[in-house]
A = this chain, B = another copy of it.
């Protein structure tokens, strides 16, 4: 009963397993089509046991979402910081973004696949998380040299839309995400100022 802080909590491994399974299933089938029983079965657990780790299904989605944003942001930031020229910085960001979105992370894919409409009480926080991530692209586009007629707001929406929509037509076996990102950028720039 002593108030010692030396005692760390147990490793809590299954919590991570739960998050992994939830991310995978949410990505594959969507939020509503995935049941708590599905998630429990995927980690070899009884449905009720999930509620020791998460208070609700909604909160489970929120945690996956947060982790997804964290992972894709981390990866994109690292890619951007390795470049100097604005054009190459944006290209690096697009490549990293697309790799996470198409190949790497179930978590990141949930962020864009699961539409935060009527998914529960935390839908506003989901949207806020997504917006917070996209601020990076706002800054990258602001650095860029563009013709004066081009509205940077719509330039960003054009680029992000094209990248995110790739999730709907991408199939493994075709061009890898890196090539796709570069081809989309080339189509966008019209082949003018290419590296």
Contacts and interface: CB of A to CB of B under 8 A. Distances in A.
A36 interface: no
A150 interface: yes
Interface stretch (A7-15, A61-69, A112-120): A112-120
A169 interface: yes
Interface string A46-88: 0000000000000000000000000000000000000000000
A155 interface: yes
| Main SS at interface, chain A | helix
A168 B187 CA distance: 23
Interface string A128-162: 00000000000000000011111100110111111
Interface of A: 28-30, 32-33, 113, 115, 117-118, 146-151, 154-155, 157-166, 168-169, 180, 183-184, 186-192, 194
